[in-house]
Amino acid sequence: MLLLVAVAFVAGVVTALSPCVLPALPVVLAGTATGGSRRLIGVAVGFVLGFTLFTLSLTFALRAIGVSPTSLRNAAIALLVAFGAALLIPRLDARLGEALAPLGRLGARMPTSGGDGAAGLAVGGALGLVWTPCAGPIFAAIAAAAASGGAGPTTFAVLAAYSLGAVLPLVAVGFGGQRLARRLGARARALRPALGALMVAAGAILFLGVDTRLTETVTRDLPGYTETLQSLERTDAVRRRLPDVTGAGSGAPPLVEAARGAEPDQPDPLGLPDAGPAPEVRGITAWFNTRRPQTLRQLRGRVVLLDFWTYSCANCLRTLPHLADLHRRYARDGLTVLGVHTPEFLFEAEPGNVARAVRDLDVPYPVALDASYRTWLAYGNQYWPAHYLIDRRGHVRDLYVGEGGYAQTEALVRRALGLPPADIAEGPSERPGHNVGQTPETFLGHARLMRLASLQPLRRERRAGYAPPLRLPTDGVAFDGQLTVLAQEVVAGRDAAVEINFRARDVFLVLDGNGQRRLGRVLLDGRPLAGPRAGADIGPGGALTVEGARLYSLVNLPRRGTGRLRVELAPGTRAFSFTFGSGSQEQPARPRT
Walk along the chain (593 residues) and give the pLDDT tens digit of each residue. 677 777 778 777 777 666 666 667 777 766 666 666 777 787 888 888 877 776 765 554 555 555 555 666 677 778 777 777 777 776 665 565 555 555 544 444 434 334 466 667 777 777 776 666 665 666 666 666 665 555 667 777 777 788 788 788 888 887 887 777 777 766 666 667 777 787 787 777 777 666 555 555 544 444 444 555 555 565 656 656 666 665 554 333 444 434 333 344 444 566 677 778 899 999 899 999 998 999 999 999 999 999 999 887 766 877 898 999 999 999 999 999 999 999 876 667 889 889 988 998 889 999 999 988 889 888 878 778 889 999 999 998 888 877 777 888 898 899 999 888 775 554 443 433 333 468 887 889 887 787 888 767 788 888 999 988 888 888 889 999 999 998 878 999 999 999 999 999 999 898 888 878 899 999 999 999 988 899 989 999 999 999 877 778 999 998 888 999 999 999 999 998 898 886 543 344 333 33
Q: Is residue 303 part of a domain?
A: yes
Residue 497 and residue 480 in contact, taking contact as beta carbons nearer than 8 Å: yes
Claim to verify: residue 378 and residue 402 sit in the same structural domain: yes
Domain count along the chain: 3
Same domain, 191 and 259: no
399 and 465, same domain (yes or no): no
156 and 283 assigned to the same domain: no
Domain stop point among 385, 406, 430:
430
406 located within any domain: yes
Number of other residues whose CB lies within 10 A of the CB of residue 32: 31
Q: Say if strands 518-524 and 543-546 run parallel, antiparallel, or are unpaired.
A: antiparallel
**232 CB neighbour count, 10 Å cutoff:** 17
Task: Please state whether beta strands 442-443 and 396-401 pair in parallel, antiparallel, or not at all (unpaired).
Answer: unpaired
215/74 same-domain check = yes
Same domain (yes/no): 87, 212: yes
Q: Is residue 232 part of a domain?
A: no
- Shortest CA distance to 460 belongs to which of 478, 486, 479, 491? 486
Looking at the structure, tell me whether residues 402 and 548 fall in a common domain: no
Count of CB atoms situated within 10 Å of the CB of 301 = 9
Residue 326 near residue 346, CB atoms below 8 Å: no
Ramachandran class of 123: left when φ > 0, alpha when ψ lies in -120 to 50, beta otherwise: alpha
Question: In 100-191, where does DSSP find H-type helix?
Answer: 117-130, 137-148, 153-184
Sheet strands (E) in 380-526 = 386-390, 396-401, 442-443, 463-466, 477-485, 490-492, 496-512, 518-524
Contact 146, 390 (CB under 8 A): no
Who contacts 318 (Cβ-Cβ below 8 Å, separation ≥6)? 216, 220, 403, 428, 429
Q: Where are any strands of DSSP class E within 208-334? A: 286-288, 303-309
Residues 305 and 415 in one domain: yes
Question: Between vectors from CA 418 to CA 413 and to CA 424, what angle results, nearest 5°?
Answer: 45
Task: Give the DSSP H/E element, type plus range, for residue 43.
Answer: helix 37-52
Q: Is residue 391 part of a domain?
A: yes
Q: Residue 575 maps to which CATH number? A: 2.60.120.260
Count Cβ atoms within 10 A of the Cβ of residue 259 and give its class: 0-12 exposed, 13-18 middle, 19 or more buried.
Answer: buried
> What Cα–Cα distance (Å) separates residue 360 from each residue in 202, 203, 320, 341, 428?
21, 21, 12, 15, 22
CA distances from 179 to 47, 173, 182, 192 (A): 21, 10, 5, 15
Residues 102 and 210 in one domain: yes
DSSP letter, residue 294: -
Q: Are residues 373 and 519 in the same domain?
A: no
Residues 453 and 417 in one domain: no
- Spell out the residues 6+ positions from residue 560 whose beta carbon is closer than 8 angstroms to its own: 438, 503, 504, 505, 582
DSSP category for residue 529:
-
Decide if 262 is inside a domain: yes
Q: Domain check: are 7 and 121 in the same one? A: yes
Q: Per the omega criterion (within 30 degrees of 0), is the bond before 366 cis?
A: no
> How far apart are the C-alpha atoms of 316 and 509, rounded to whole Å?
35
Q: Pairing between strand 527-528 and 367-369?
A: unpaired
Domain membership of residue 95 as a residue range: 2-219
Q: Is 340 exposed, middle or buried (0-12, 13-18, 19+ CB in 10 A)?
A: buried
